[in-house]
Structure 1
Amino acid sequence: MDETQRLFYRKNFQVRFLRSTATEFQNLFSDIMQRVYKADFQKVRPYGKHGDLKCDGFLSSKGAVYQCYAPRELKEKETIHKIKVDYPGAKKHWRDQMKQWVFVHNDNDGLPGGVVRHLHVLKTSEKKKVEVFWWSEPELIGEMEKLDEADLVDLFGPQPTKVQSQIISFPELQTVLTAISKSIPDPEPVIKAPSPEKIAHNNLSEDTTRFLHLGRHLEREVQKFLEKWPDPAFADQIAETFRNQYDALRNTGLNSEEIFVGILRFCGFNQGNGSAHNTAVLAVVSYFFERCDIFEDPDAVVFSA
Structure 2
Amino acid sequence: MCKHNSNFKPVKAYGRLGDRKNDGFDKTTGTIYQVFAPEDLNREGTIKDGVRKLKEDFKGLYEKWNDICPIKKYYFVANDKYDGVPAPIHDMAIELSKQSSYSHIDIDILGASDLEKIFNSLDRFEKQDIVGFIPDQNIQVVEYEALNETVNYLLTIENNINYLDKLIVPDFYEKITFNGLSQVVRNKLTVGSYQEGILIEYFNNTPGVNEVLQKKFHMLYEEAKNIIKNTKENFADCRFYYILEKSCIKNTIPIQTSVLVLMSYYFSSCDVFEEPS
TM-score for both structures, normalised by structure 2:
0.48
Q: Which has the larger radius of gyration?
A: 2
TM-score for both structures, normalised by structure 1:
0.44
Greater length-normalized contact order (CA 8 Å, ≥ 6 residues apart):
1
